[in-house]
Structure 1
Amino acid sequence: MTDRTALVVGASRSLGLALAGEFADRGWDVVATVRGDTSEGLAELAARTGRVTVERLDITDTAGIAALRERLGDRRIDLLFVNAGITDADVPAAQVPTEVFAEVMVTNALSPMRVVEGLSPLVPPTGTIGVMSSRQGSVGFNTRGGHEVYRASKAALNQLMRSYAARTAQDPRTLLLLHPGWVQADVLEGHAHDGGLQFLDHTGAVVPW
């Protein structure tokens, strides 16, 4: 058992739900956010473990981020993990409507950074701030193209996190950008006290920028 708390932003389904479940099973208290109604899977997880608290948050809503910060009060968050994002049609960027381009960029790059900035005061110096990125955001790995706007949004997210890390260079907290894979709890726990920023895949291997 542990007295640590994880805040998983975007935990209603898929990897976010699995990650919340993995930490709850390891004895962590988990605050799991959903954009709308609580999913059946998350409700079942909360009932089974007794360690999961569900909060509502749309990461594109700046007022909602501030409201969640207020609701959490001075609660210590040992791990803040932002798992949220959208994709778009796999077409060349020039064919994407401006409003779709803006939506993908705001949701995948700007909004996660607003969550990080807004909720990071709850993370102690020994804590970890993680954000779900993707190998598709790696410039070095982009040899085949495709999914251009999604790739661009993840590359923008990576760059924004690099800027955040540079701006907070004296901050001892660990910063992680992760490529999705089946439940990254081992990676998140294994790098918890590294400090600095790393871009890793779900096995813990470094992803080139």
Structure 2
Amino acid sequence: MTDTRKTALIIGASRTLGLGLAAEYLRLGWDVIGTVRGSRHTGLHDLAEASGGRLTIESLEMTEPEQISALRDRLAQRTLDLLFVNAAITRGDLPIGEVPTDMFAEVMITNALSPMRVVESLRPLVASTGTIGIMSSDQGSIALNTEGGQDLYRASKSALNQLMRSYAARNAEDTRTLLLIDPGWVRTELGGPDADLSVEESIPGVAETIAGQRGKPGLHFLDYQGQAVPW
């Protein structure tokens, strides 16, 4: 009997949203490859131990291009149904004029440049009917920015969205689905303790939204409830 299980690669799966997404795809019967930074033990390792071999862990520092290339080489014989980039950072809520240059570079490299390097490098591993997704945020929406704050984080997500639109335009004939996903305001290190949603409330919606877009080529910017987010 042919094994028809789907495979997801989740970049940045050691905790919170990424870990929740890995757990959700295991629950849905997928095989999952999750990446972590470094060699420390994480919640993903505990999840892998209980997965019966359906979750494998790869090490990746996303901001190091040579590590992205090495991961691609290690996975060269795998076919992915989903490539999802989750990793992102924030460095506090400073007005943009007070942001040190090195902080600006760090956040932009991590949140905008590195996810796109992953997409560009690992795209050949994704099936022609598969999906490439990145965790964005409604804070990346220029139209929705009516209150300001979180200047650098907002800018990094807006830059990510613009770069993904450029990628989609350059690959307009690609049959893969391309997604930017807003998970909602979630209680994570980034979202803070006062956020509206738990990981358990957000992530099933993220997975359902991804499933609902399968087979729809082109780029879609959606929230965890499947609603379009203004650019």
TM range (shorter): over 0.9
Task: Measure how far apart 1:79 and its partner are.
Answer: 0.1
C-alpha separation in 2, matches of 1:120 and 1:67: 14
Percentage identity across paired residues of the two chains: 60
Task: Measure how far apart 1:180 and its partner are.
Answer: 1.7
User: Retained in 2: the 8 A contact 1:2–1:28?
Assistant: no
1:63 alignment partner AA: E
2:18 maps to 16
The answer to whether 1:204 aligns with 2:201 is no
The answer to whether 1:97 aligns with 2:100 is yes
The answer to whether 1:180 aligns with 2:183 is yes
Show the 5 A alignment for 1:71-90.
71-90=74-93
1:46 maps to 48
TM norm structure 2: 0.88
Q: Secondary structure at the match of 2:80?
A: coil
Q: RMSD between aligned alpha carbons?
A: 1.1
User: Retained in 2: the 8 A contact 1:25–1:49?
Assistant: no
1:31 maps to 33
User: Retained in 1: the 8 A contact 2:15–2:42?
Assistant: no
User: Retained in 2: the 8 A contact 1:132–1:180?
Assistant: yes
C-alpha separation in 1, matches of 2:121 and 2:18: 20
2:142 maps to 139
C-alpha separation in 1, matches of 2:128 and 2:41: 33
The answer to whether 1:189 aligns with 2:192 is no
Q: How many pairs were matched up?
A: 209
| Cα pair distance change 1:186/1:101, threshold 3 Å | same
Describe the superposition over 1:126-184 as per-residue Cα deviations: whole angstroms up to 9, x where unpaired.
Answer: 00000010000000000000000110000000000000000000001000000124111
Task: Measure how far apart 1:185 and its partner are.
Answer: 1.0
Q: Secondary structure at the match of 2:228?
A: coil
TM norm structure 1: 0.97
C-alpha separation in 2, matches of 1:69 and 1:59: 12
- Structure 1 residue corresponding to 2:62, chosen from 30, 38, 59: 59
Identify the range of structure 1 (32-41 vs 127-136) with the bigger mean alpha-carbon deviation.
Answer: 32-41
| Cα pair distance change 1:26/1:2, threshold 3 Å | farther
Find runs of 4+ consecutive structure 1 residues off by over 6 angstroms.
none
User: Retained in 1: the 8 A contact 2:112–2:156?
Assistant: yes
C-alpha separation in 2, matches of 1:44 and 1:100: 33
Q: Secondary structure at the match of 1:86?
A: coil
User: Retained in 1: the 8 A contact 2:80–2:127?
Assistant: yes
C-alpha separation in 1, matches of 2:127 and 2:40: 28
Instruction: Return 5+ residue gaps in structure 2 as ranges.
Output: 185-201
Instruction: Return 5+ residue gaps in structure 1 as ranges.
Output: none
User: Retained in 2: the 8 A contact 1:187–1:203?
Assistant: yes
Describe the superposition over 1:54-107 as per-residue Cα deviations: whole angstroms up to 9, x where unpaired.
Answer: 000011010000000011122101100000010012111010000000000000
